[in-house]
Chains A and B, each alone.
Chain A
Amino acid sequence: MTKDWPLWEVFIRGQYGLSHRHVGSLHAPDAEMAMLNARDVYTRRNEGMSIWVVPSADISASAPSRKGPMFDPSNDKTYRHPTFFDIPDEVGSM
């Protein structure tokens, strides 16, 4: 019987100016090995220039069943979008 090492989530910054993005996960005994494995698995073709590895167990996620109460309140506030307002053409770009 083999036992799994802890699971790590991998985030990569593709280029300067962009945020780190989640790309996948891997198992590793510690952060150093997680980093090396992430380099080998997720950046074989210049995909990144910076890597974060985070223990999956340390991530708190919103529950899909709470989608309504979490996100509905922003749905009915269309006035938060610029297109809500009709500005006459004469005014020019705004």
Chain B
Amino acid sequence: MYAQTVQSTGRKVKSLEEMSDQERAFQARIDAGEKIEPKDWMPDGYRKTLVRQISQHAHSEVVGQLPEGNWITRAPTLERKAILLAKVQDEAGHGLYLYSAAETLGVSRADLIDDLLAGRAKYSSIFNYPTLNWADMGAVGWLVDGAAIINQVALQRTSYGPYSRAMVRICKEESFHARQGFDIMMKMVAGTAAQKAMAQDALNRLWWPALMMFGPPDKDSVHSAQSMAWKIKVMTNDEGRQKFVDQTIPQIEYLGLDVPDKAARKNPKTGHYSFVDPDWDEFFAVLKGYGPCNADRMLARNKAHDDGAWFREGLLAYAEKQTIAAE
């Protein structure tokens, strides 16, 4: 999802017999649904996996501002501009909540940000796709935030307290994101034939990357089992993807648009839609840095960071001067 390739310990899940007393007591707390808090004892692998997952999630929120930030200055009306600005500002806040949660595990935010800027960190593949026109603002809010919500609603039940609380805050803000996107789509499909075609085009381009957001198929996600046992992850990739398809296809039909997956059919017995998988080779290529916008995103993040350096330094110098004056 926002953390699609979290490497866990790489080892298979320990059985209760193989665990030390401390590990067994820890697992018992997780199984009982207790939240783990920063100063509690935790296995090293639990801490490491969480740092990777939460920091990837945080980076995704921050880089995720770029595809939409791209359209703030060119929103069609002042109202749409204010809405988009508020939405992108929320994403900055989401990044902050998540960096804060990661920091409670003993890492420094500066180090995490350095990792991102140096290209050592991962973030969601979805943000390496371009936003070509205004209809993409509709499709991103509706599909990308819609997919994120499915994942984040589940993550409210994650076992690590600070991560879970960050998810609760984020989920309160997300439905505004999805709804403003869908609202743009409704406007576009009610417009001219050319505007409706733009909406269809945006949907066609973002459908497959949106499916990729949930990560590789369960059969190929080697790192999931331990994360599920620790309740760092609470829903499998395939479960999330199915949920997304089931919820989105009726919305596509409501808009009067064509489902990009021509073979998608509802199974009358299960109520679930069948669907074609996205191109997983493309997915792994994007994660490795070969997506259409990876280089642009990194360039933009680094430029923003460098351009803000004088301001951060100024604030620090002022704060130091005040402290000296007070002494």
Distance in angstroms between the alpha carbons of A27 and B100 in the assembled complex: 9
Whether B39 and A61, one on each chain, are in contact in the complex, defined by CB atoms closer than 8 angstroms, is yes
**Which residues of the partner chain A approach B100 to less than 8 Å between Cβ atoms?**
24-26
Judged by a CB distance under 8 angstroms, whether A46 is at the interface is no
Judged by a CB distance under 8 angstroms, whether B113 is at the interface is yes
Shortest distance in angstroms between A71's beta carbon and chain B's nearest beta carbon?
Answer: 14
Shortest distance in angstroms between B169's beta carbon and chain A's nearest beta carbon?
Answer: 8
Judged by a CB distance under 8 angstroms, whether A60 is at the interface is no
Whether B110 and A2, one on each chain, are in contact in the complex, defined by CB atoms closer than 8 angstroms, is yes
Judged by a CB distance under 8 angstroms, whether A70 is at the interface is no
**Which residues of the partner chain B approach A1 to less than 8 Å between Cβ atoms?**
110, 114
- 1/0 per position for A48-87, CB-CB distance to B under 8 A? 0000000000000101100000000000000000000000
Smallest CB gap from B309: residue in A = A2
Within 8 A of A (CB), among B86-101: 86, 89-90, 93, 96-97, 100
Whether B96 and A29, one on each chain, are in contact in the complex, defined by CB atoms closer than 8 angstroms, is no
Interface size class of A (residues with CB under 8 A): 20 to 34
**Which residues of the partner chain B approach A7 to less than 8 Å between Cβ atoms?**
103
Distance in angstroms between the alpha carbons of A2 and B287 in the assembled complex: 26
Chain A contact surface mostly: loop
Judged by a CB distance under 8 angstroms, whether B77 is at the interface is no
Query: Which among B5-13, B66-74, B140-148, B311-319 touches the partner chain?
Result: B311-319
Whether B113 and A29, one on each chain, are in contact in the complex, defined by CB atoms closer than 8 angstroms, is no
Whether A3 and B110, one on each chain, are in contact in the complex, defined by CB atoms closer than 8 angstroms, is yes
Judged by a CB distance under 8 angstroms, whether B40 is at the interface is yes
Chain B contact surface mostly: helix
Whether B89 and A44, one on each chain, are in contact in the complex, defined by CB atoms closer than 8 angstroms, is yes
Smallest CB gap from B96: residue in A = A41
Distance in angstroms between the alpha carbons of A63 and B41 in the assembled complex: 11
Judged by a CB distance under 8 angstroms, whether A89 is at the interface is no
- 1/0 per position for B20-61, CB-CB distance to A under 8 A? 000000000000000001011100000000000000000000
Distance in angstroms between the alpha carbons of A25 and B100 in the assembled complex: 6
**Which residues of the partner chain B approach A90 to less than 8 Å between Cβ atoms?**
none
Whether B319 and A33, one on each chain, are in contact in the complex, defined by CB atoms closer than 8 angstroms, is yes
Distance in angstroms between the alpha carbons of A27 and B90 in the assembled complex: 17
Shortest distance in angstroms between A51's beta carbon and chain B's nearest beta carbon?
Answer: 15
Whether A29 and B110, one on each chain, are in contact in the complex, defined by CB atoms closer than 8 angstroms, is no
Q: A24-B100, A45-B173, A61-B39 are in contact. List 14 more A-B contacts (CB 8 A).
A: A3-B110, A4-B108, A4-B110, A24-B166, A24-B169, A26-B96, A27-B109, A29-B316, A29-B318, A29-B319, A30-B322, A33-B315, A40-B89, A44-B93
Q: List 28 A-B contacts (CB under 8 A).
A: A1-B114, A2-B110, A2-B114, A3-B110, A4-B108, A7-B103, A24-B100, A24-B169, A25-B103, A26-B96, A26-B100, A27-B109, A29-B315, A29-B316, A29-B318, A30-B315, A30-B318, A30-B319, A30-B322, A33-B315, A40-B93, A41-B96, A44-B90, A44-B93, A44-B173, A63-B39, A64-B37, A64-B39
Q: Which 4 A-B pairs have the closest CB atoms?
A: A29-B319, A30-B319, A2-B110, A4-B110
